[in-house]
Amino acid sequence: MKGQLINKETALSVTAVALAMISLTAGAALAKSMFSYIDPASVTAIRFIMSAVFLTCVLRAWEVQLTRDNIGSVVVYGGMIAGMNLFFYLAIETIPIGMALAIELLGPLSVSIVYSRKRSDVIWVALVVVGITLLLPTPASVTNLDTRGVLYALVAGAFWGAYVIAGKKAGRRHGSKAPALGLIVASILVFPVGFEALSFSIIDWNVLMLIAAVALLSSVIPLILEMKALRHLPTKTYGVLTSGEPVVGAAVGFFVLGEQLTTLQLLGLATIVTASIGAVMSPIPSIKRLKNIKGYG
């Protein structure tokens, strides 16, 4: 019975990660379409504020009793959310979404390597590395990539890797209310940057509705789903599963933005999917280990 329960929890968590990736990349495409007339930092700030207000009301975040002992996990978690999203938006302003996601993936991939416990884990991580390498541009086309965009994606990846760890700690201390608390912190951190770059003359109800949609797709839905996934999935499994984001990003880029994929890039996507499936099909950790790595207490 316990084994069946763990399998069900794992399946639901994997589904949550997949839905979060679809929602996040769709939101990224919508946000990128706005960057021609509103700064990425401003979009990030307004999106965070909207998301924080919504989740605070829905999750009743005011019920959380913050103390000196537990507030630190919220601040760190919110900081990782802020950095991960702000630098990702700065990256996709100048480089393709799928490319930015592939570069950013190095963050959670590094976490997967650190938390690897079995030889088979190394195989799946190695396949992800091969897939990402195939996704990246060839030497002949690399000059077309904006250097700042690549650097921003790398920084976003570092925040993403730290987010995986911080999310577990925040979830363990604050349960399902952690995303709301994290977004409040993220809003406070990003607001000064977004406010400075904001041009109020272009803000109208249409723009606010678009940003609200971005907030729903890129913050509210992914954070809730990922918090559920982090509760039940081992860190290494989550890290490899998120390797599917470049796949989703490339698909969104193709269907929404008309970005074409080369044969090598398609092979890279197939390799990443294989690694994700392999990670899920690997033997499930023992009951004792699962209890030790759950995001909530």
State pLDDT tens for residues 235-257.
667 767 777 777 888 888 778 77
- Asked which of 26-35, 39-48, 233-242 is least confident by mean pLDDT, the reply is 233-242
Chain-centre distance for alpha carbon 113: 18
pLDDT higher than threshold 60 for residue 6: no
User: Under 8 Å CB-to-CB from 22, ≥6 apart: which residues?
Assistant: 248
Structure tokens at 284: 């499930």
In a 3-state reduction of DSSP, which class is residue 156? Answer: helix
pLDDT higher than threshold 90 for residue 69: no
Check if the beta carbon of residue 170 is closer than 8 Å to that of residue 77. yes
**Average pLDDT score over residue span 216-235:** 81
CA–CA separation, 236 vs 206, rounded Å? 41
- What per-residue confidence (pLDDT) applies to 137? 64
- Residue type present at position 287: I
pLDDT band at residue 228, thresholds of 50, 70 and 90? confident
**Average pLDDT score over residue span 66-82:** 84
CA–CA separation, 212 vs 205, rounded Å? 10
User: Under 8 Å CB-to-CB from 57, ≥6 apart: which residues?
Assistant: none
Chain-centre distance for alpha carbon 229: 12
Please state, in angstroms and as integers, the Cα–Cα distance from residue 154 to each residue in 80, 99, 101, 172, 219, following that order. 14, 11, 10, 28, 20
Among candidates 86, 89, 112, which has minimal Cα distance to 100?
A: 89
- What per-residue confidence (pLDDT) applies to 145? 65
In a 3-state reduction of DSSP, which class is residue 233? Answer: coil
CA–CA separation, 45 vs 223, rounded Å? 16
CA–CA separation, 112 vs 115, rounded Å? 5
**Average pLDDT score over residue span 61-74:** 74
The H or E element spanning position 108 is helix 106-114
Assessment of whether the complete model's pTM goes beyond 0.85: no
pLDDT higher than threshold 50 for residue 296: no
Percent of the chain topping pLDDT 90: 23
Question: Exposure pattern of 207-219 as b/e (b: 16+ CB <10 Å)?
Answer: beebbbbbbbbbb
Rounded to the nearest integer, the mean pLDDT of the chain is: 79
Give pLDDT tens digits for 105-121. 878 777 777 776 667 77
Q: What angle do CA 200, 34, 37 make, to 5 degrees?
A: 45
Check if the beta carbon of residue 178 is closer than 8 Å to that of residue 77. yes
In a 3-state reduction of DSSP, which class is residue 234? Answer: coil
CA–CA separation, 206 vs 128, rounded Å? 40
CA dihedral 228, 119, 134, 142 (to 10 degrees): 90
Q: At what angle do helices 205-215 and 40-59 cross, to 10 degrees?
A: 60
The H or E element spanning position 131 is helix 119-135
More confident residue, 186 or 138: 186
